[in-house]
Amino acid sequence: MKGLRLVNVSNVCFFPGSNVTKMRKKQILLLKIGVVVWVCVIYAFFLHKPSSTQKSHDITEQLDKLEEELNKQSQFYTVLLNKLRTMYQQQQNLGDDAVLQESCVPSYPQDPIIESPLLDGPVLPVLLIACNRDAAVRRSLDLLLKYRPSQERFPIVVSQDCGHRPTREAIESYGDKVTLIQHPDLSDIEVPLKERKFKGYFLIARHYRWALNQMFQKFEYEAVIIVEDDLDIAPDFYEYFSATYPILRADPSLWCVSAWNDNAHLRNSSALLLPASINVLPPVYLAPGPCLPHSSTHTM
């Protein structure tokens, strides 16, 4: 044919599909790699997610506990506030009732004041034996003056040995509430060597003798209540000696009446005395303190 040229293409080989296959393989490989990476990322994300969840759970529990404590505190203060309101209201009501009762109750003449029996009776002076303990003397005198019902019936005389100036100044600070006498003999006492450890008792005995001579011979008291400077008296101290003084006067076998309970415990037992013996004053064969001797037994 004119215008046409025949070309033999039997020896020419052209495979366009081979390049396409290679490209597809690369795409598949990249896709697989991407999938693997995506899976790893997702796995890592879910792997760490429970720890944050646990922390969130712990925080939630702490918040719940805090809320519970706050609720308890709120309930407590609410109950307390209600109680205070109730008490305040009751006091208001009592006040109104008291005012109402005072306005409604007719006035009557007041009963005569009955004086205490401790205001009348024999004079029982208190002799306080002191030396060099000014703090103890103050404490003892404070209690003696606090519970003393009458200065005229229960005069307080402080006899001081040792010549200790702070103790003397402490006694003088009470003014005319007490009387101070001072032992003039401050010399040493010679005692046998075997009795050297009892030297303090010799000095105390000398002081007692001089002080009792002053009370019975100089001041001419018939009886005296002796106390030491480290004694804390009970509120019924004066009442006790007022009640037992007639017993001392009536029984010639008694040398003194003591407020010191030497029979608080049985000698051979740790058990206390029976309640039936509370009203019993058993005799003892010592001179305990504080005690109440009278002039007829004083032979110094």
How confident is the model over 25-42, as pLDDT tens digits? 777 777 778 777 777 777
pLDDT band, residue 48 (cuts 50/70/90): low
Cα torsion 103, 104, 106, 112 to 10°: value is -60
Token output for 250: 């009536």
Residue at token pair 């029979």 = 263
Whether residue 142 is predicted with pLDDT greater than 80 in this model: the reply is yes
Q: What is the Cα 178 distance to its own chain's centre?
A: 33
Strands 156-160 and 126-130: parallel
Which pLDDT value is given to residue 47? 60
257-263 contacts: CB < 8 A, separation 24 or more?
257/281, 257/291, 257/292, 258/284, 258/287, 258/288, 258/289, 258/290, 258/291, 258/292, 259/290, 259/291, 260/288, 260/289, 260/290, 260/291, 262/286, 262/288
Instruction: Say how far apart CA 227 and CA 288 lie, in whole Å.
Output: 10
- What mean pLDDT comes out for the span 189-195? 86
Q: What is the residue extent of each domain of the chain?
A: 53-98, 121-259+281-297
Which pLDDT value is given to residue 288? 56
pLDDT band, residue 77 (cuts 50/70/90): confident
| Mean of all residue pLDDT scores within the chain | 77
Q: What is the Cα 115 distance to its own chain's centre?
A: 37
Which pLDDT value is given to residue 29? 77
Which pLDDT value is given to residue 289? 57
Which pLDDT value is given to residue 96? 59
- What mean pLDDT comes out for the span 75-84? 82
- What mean pLDDT comes out for the span 137-166? 96
Which pLDDT value is given to residue 143? 96
Which pLDDT value is given to residue 58? 76
Instruction: Say how far apart CA 84 and CA 90 lie, in whole Å.
Output: 10
Neighbours of 202 (CB within 10 A): 14
Which pLDDT value is given to residue 99? 52
pLDDT band, residue 216 (cuts 50/70/90): very high
Task: Using alpha carbons, list the distances in angstroms from residue 91 to 53, 81, 100, 184, 280.
Answer: 57, 15, 14, 63, 47
Which pLDDT value is given to residue 225? 95
Residue at token pair 């209690």 = 143
Whether residue 285 is predicted with pLDDT greater than 90 in this model: the reply is no
**Maximum C-alpha span of the chain:** 185
Who has greater pLDDT, 59 or 135?
Answer: 135
Lowest-confidence segment of 29-38, 169-178, 187-196, 261-270 by average pLDDT: 261-270
Whether residue 157 is predicted with pLDDT greater than 60 in this model: the reply is yes
Whether residue 8 is predicted with pLDDT greater than 60 in this model: the reply is no
First to last CA, the chain: 183
pTM: 0.55
* 3-class DSSP assignment, residue 182: strand
Which pLDDT value is given to residue 239? 93
Tell me the percentage of the chain whose pLDDT exceeds 70. Answer: 66
Lowest-confidence segment of 134-143, 160-169, 205-214, 243-252 by average pLDDT: 243-252
Whether residue 144 is predicted with pLDDT greater than 70 in this model: the reply is yes
Whether residue 85 is predicted with pLDDT greater than 80 in this model: the reply is yes
pLDDT band, residue 13 (cuts 50/70/90): very low
pLDDT band, residue 111 (cuts 50/70/90): very low
CATH of 121-259+281-297, one of 3.90.550.10, 3.30.420.40, 3.40.50.300, 3.40.50.800: 3.90.550.10
